[in-house]
């Protein structure tokens, strides 16, 4: 049984749970490959399967930052960039926080890259995150998003976690959305993390400034994967990825939105990001939103984890009191 659901919960839940998608595990020690057999491997390199014909020095149309632990889903994420309908020049910047997976995966993807896509890999040989012994408070890549945002040889930069992916029209539609704006955002689909099955459109969380279930309590929310930023107009926001202020090293996406909210923005108004999530462990109110969206919770959760009718009634009462259903529909 849960207690009453009210607006202050939204702020607490936001701070604790928005970064739930990541799961970190102990990683294997990487064999030394430097001349000194006891030295860690450190690499910073760029590669393209067929070489980018205009050369790496010529600025790209977009830089796509991917911070990774090289999990199994990295290949799907990167191949969704390779498959973009946009045929302009793209730079993928891969920052390795730590090696959870096989180095050969990254090397294979570098060979697969089409001629208009360059891959720049940053492997410092250590993690910059405090959770792994580094300096920066962000638990999700430490300073890598900040470093790679500035390093991208492009005016526009966007982000893709290694367990998510883009629709084919994502980059093309977002470049149109950000034109003459400081930044833009897309919408997203929820996908079950275990099965990869599509759950539903996110019509309540990542909806932009002042919208969705976090609109009143937090001023809205934009998921990391949905941002598309003009670096010239927003060059001061990138340290927020590293200097997170909330418990558990979370809150970077919220802090970035706080700095961007007052600047001109656009949206492609399309669900062009596919975002993995686990239903088990979510707050009952968020499960209620999935239930209302038509998701059969029993397919993706153990029966004992599904709330009962009394909880659903509390959620429905909360919706009526806060007029969430009406505001979400208008959004």
- Dihedral in degrees, nearest 10, Cα atoms 309, 202, 131, 44: 160
Determine the Cα–Cα distance for residues 324 and 331; give it in Å rounded to an integer: 10
For 157-203, write each residue's pLDDT tens digit.
999 999 999 999 999 999 999 999 999 999 999 999 999 999 999 99
CA angle 162, 168, 173 (to 5 degrees): 105
Confidence at residue 242, expressed as pLDDT on a 0 to 100 scale: 79
User: In this structure, are residues 184 and 228 in contact, taking their beta carbons and an 8 Å threshold?
Assistant: yes
Determine the Cα–Cα distance for residues 268 and 177; give it in Å rounded to an integer: 5
Cβ atoms within 10 Å, residue 282: 19
- Which run of H or E residues covers position 63? strand 62-68
For 67-94, write each residue's pLDDT tens digit.
998 999 999 999 999 999 999 999 999 9
Determine the Cα–Cα distance for residues 176 and 157; give it in Å rounded to an integer: 14
Q: Who's near 12: CB < 8 A, 6+ residues apart?
A: none
281 has pLDDT over 60: yes
For 240-251, write each residue's pLDDT tens digit.
887 776 666 666
Q: How many residues does the chain have?
A: 331
């Amino acid at each position: 049984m849960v207690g009453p659901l009210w607006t202050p919960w939204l702020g607490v839940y936001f701070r604790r749970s928005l970064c739930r998608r990541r799961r970190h595990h102990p990683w294997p020690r990487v064999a030394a490959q430097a001349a000194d057999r006891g030295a860690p491997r450190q690499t910073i390199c760029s590669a393209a399967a067929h070489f980018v014909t205009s050369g790496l020095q010529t600025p790209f149309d977009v830089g796509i930052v991917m911070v990774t632990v090289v999990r199994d889903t990295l290949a799907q994420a990167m191949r969704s960039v390779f498959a973009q309908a946009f045929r302009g020049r793209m730079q993928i910047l891969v920052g390795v926080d730590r090696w959870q997976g096989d180095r050969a995966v990254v090397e294979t993807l570098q060979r697969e890259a089409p001629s208009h896509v360059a891959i720049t890999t940053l492997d410092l040989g250590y993690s910059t995150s405090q959770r792994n012994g580094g300096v920066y408070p962000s638990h999700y890549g430490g300073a890598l998003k900040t470093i790679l945002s500035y390093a991208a040889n492009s005016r526009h930069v966007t982000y893709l976690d290694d367990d998510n992916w883009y629709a084919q029209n994502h980059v093309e539609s977002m470049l149109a959305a950000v034109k003459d704006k400081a930044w833009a955002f897309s919408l997203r689909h929820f996908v079950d993390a275990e099965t990869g099955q599509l759950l539903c459109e996110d019509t309540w969380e990542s909806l932009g400034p002042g919208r969705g279930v976090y609109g009143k309590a937090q001023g809205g929310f934009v998921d990391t994967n949905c941002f598309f930023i003009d670096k010239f107009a927003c060059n001061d926001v990138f340290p927020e990825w590293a200097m997170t202020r909330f418990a558990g090293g979370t809150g970077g996406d919220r802090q970035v939105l706080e700095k961007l909210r007052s600047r001109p923005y656009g949206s492609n108004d399309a669900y062009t990001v596919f975002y993995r999530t686990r239903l088990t462990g979510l707050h009952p109110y968020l499960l209620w939103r999935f239930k209302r969206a038509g998701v059969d919770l029993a397919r993706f959760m153990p029966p004992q984890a599904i709330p009962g009718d009394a909880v659903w009634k509390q959620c429905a009462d909360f919706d009526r009191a806060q007029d969430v259903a009406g505001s979400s529909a208008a959004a």
